Chain A
Amino acid sequence: MISSSCDKLTVLPLDKEGASVVDLTQDLRLVPSLGKLEIEGEVMELLNQISEFLQQGDDEKVFELTKQAIEQDLNPKVILDNGLIFGMNIIGEKFKKHEIFLPDVLMAAKAMYAGLDQLKPLLDSKGISGLGKVVIGTVQGDLHDIGKNLVGIMLKGAGFDVIDLGKDVPPEKFVETAKRENAKLIGMSALLTTTMTNMKKVVDLVRKDNSDIKVIIGGAPVSKEFADEIGADAYAYDAGNAVECVKNLISGAK
């Protein structure tokens, strides 16, 4: 299984016609055969600026620059990957290392959405699917959602289509939504030790159907041992790790 690293973005060739140059269902970072083509300096500069302003949490600037990039007919997938996701990955890494804190991540996420909201319709109309659909939520009985929200932001930033069911989500709803939406993965969070047992119910429901939906869990009281005990596919210790785990699970599922 490929363990993808978040900070090594290969710069991809631009194709103004759309997405035909590369197989966009793949993680672009894992396509070394294309080689590193030089993006024109000006364009690269624009993408760098998007990433920089995103990291500073400046949503107005990110909105403006993304708009500019779209008007210059840049491939929306390139704007997403080399601008927004690139910046968000740096934020994720820094948060993981405690170099920055939750407010910085939240502000960066706001800025990311300012760009992503404009790109979304373009990506959809070109039939460029993201990395896949995932369903996330906080388990039944648990009303904590800061951690889960963070995971949602990071997954969206990484290019996943995230369906966030919110908090206090019954086991059946996780599974029904995942099936209906054809999602590849369910991500669950719990902060209370008393609600983590509800995670097992979801795993059991998924297994009962012989479904190939993957299940990943996280949250303060949750551990690798607990994940193994209930039969979940993975345990993520923080939001950045969640993105890596989800990528691994989904590429493994293909």
Chain B
Amino acid sequence: MNTIFKRIKNREILVADGAMGTMLFARGLKPGEPPESVNLKNPEILEEIAQAYLDAGADIIQTNTFGASPLKLSDYGMQDKTEEINRIAVEKVRKVVREKAYVSGSVGPSGKLLKPFGDTEPDDIYLSFKRQMKALINADVDLICIETMTDLNEASLAIKAAKSISPEIPIMATMTFDETPRGFYTIMGVSIEDAVVGLQKAGADIIGSNCGNGIENMIKIAREFKKLTILPTIIQSNAGIPEMKEGKLFYSETSEFFAEKTKELIDAGVSIIGGCCGTTPEYIRAIRKVVDNYIQKD
């Protein structure tokens, strides 16, 4: 289902979904429970969330598998369930969206630090990603989304792991940047230029940024990406920086604000726009509306 490239080439802007964690917590996930445990315990919730994002107008719906690599699952002693957790996540989204949207297999960081900074061998991380990619691709995802990466080596290992299972599966890869006085860098010291070169070299098809400190920074990040690459760009922003008010979590950026800023992302030439932490179907609906009605300024 590589129609996605054709659509992007025709200058169509695709809308991705919003946060998964935010939706799971609203549906009873307890603090400290791994989000992926829902796939085993209450898989019907996954259908509900996929439906909500599909109804909001998303073209790409992610699976609840951000932490479903065996290395990450081993934090909870759940590594033996890797195949089951990934398969169920894909099946539930597919059941809802069928061919109306792309099913994107979410793959997050391993949670380990590579040698020499940490104690994990590249091979261990590669094999861990490979096992997750195999489970996702066997379950028939349309694309893979490697996200929230801060270490370029780890991101590259994940991309290569996906390619080793399926050379043709479209791969999106996003990293999370902080603003510093010298520009945008990940906490591991990866600049946007390093990310563009490295992700591209590893074989990613669509590159960009997710999470972060709000959508205004994302506009700056998107412009830098577009200066450096001809690959399609994806941006999935947090709804600002989370704040705590009377024991409740609160994201500062509203869906209206997101809609306004989505225009600037479109002007910057971004091909896929979605949300990250704190965004809900309401935000995706707002983005959809702008994407459908806004005429890009060149």
Determine which of B31, B111, B116, B249 lies in contact with A107 in the assembled complex, contact meaning CB atoms within 8 Å: B116
Within 8 A of B (CB), among A123-176: 140-143, 146, 168
Q: Is B182 an interface residue (CB 8 A)?
A: yes
Q: Is B113 an interface residue (CB 8 A)?
A: yes
Contact A143 B117 (CB under 8 A): no
Which of the segments B44-52, B98-106, B163-171, B240-248 contacts the partner chain? B240-248
- Spell out A's residues near B (CB within 8 Å): 97-104, 106-107, 110, 140-143, 146, 168, 192-198, 220-223, 225-226, 229
**Cα–Cα distance between A140 and B31 once the two chains are bound (Å):** 9
A108 to chain B, nearest CB (A): 11
Residue numbers in B under 8 Å from A198 (CB-CB): 31
Contact B31 A102 (CB under 8 A): no
Contact A168 B180 (CB under 8 A): no
Contact B243 A146 (CB under 8 A): no
If A107-B117, A195-B31 touch, does A98 touch B185 (CB 8 Å cutoff)? yes
* Chain B interfacial residues counted at CB < 8 A: 25
Q: List 28 A-B contacts (CB under 8 A).
A: A98-B178, A98-B180, A98-B181, A98-B182, A99-B182, A100-B189, A101-B189, A102-B117, A102-B187, A102-B189, A103-B189, A106-B113, A106-B118, A140-B32, A141-B32, A141-B33, A142-B32, A168-B32, A193-B242, A194-B32, A195-B31, A197-B247, A198-B31, A220-B242, A221-B249, A222-B244, A225-B244, A226-B244
Contact A104 B244 (CB under 8 A): no
Contact A193 B244 (CB under 8 A): yes
Contact B31 A223 (CB under 8 A): no
If A98-B182, A101-B189, A107-B116 touch, does A223 touch B32 (CB 8 Å cutoff)? no
Which chain B residue has the least Cβ–Cβ distance from A95? Answer: B187
- Spell out B's residues near A (CB within 8 Å): 25, 30-33, 75, 111, 113, 116-118, 178, 180-182, 185-189, 242-244, 247, 249
Residue numbers in A under 8 Å from B32 (CB-CB): 140-142, 168, 192, 194-195
**Cα–Cα distance between A196 and B243 once the two chains are bound (Å):** 12
Contact B117 A106 (CB under 8 A): yes
B193 to chain A, nearest CB (A): 15
Contact B244 A101 (CB under 8 A): no
Q: Which of B31, B180, B186 gathers most chain A CB within 10 Å?
A: B31
Residue numbers in B under 8 Å from A221 (CB-CB): 242, 244, 249
Contact A194 B117 (CB under 8 A): no
**Cα–Cα distance between A193 and B243 once the two chains are bound (Å):** 9
**Cα–Cα distance between A197 and B31 once the two chains are bound (Å):** 9
Contact A223 B187 (CB under 8 A): no
A140 to chain B, nearest CB (A): 6
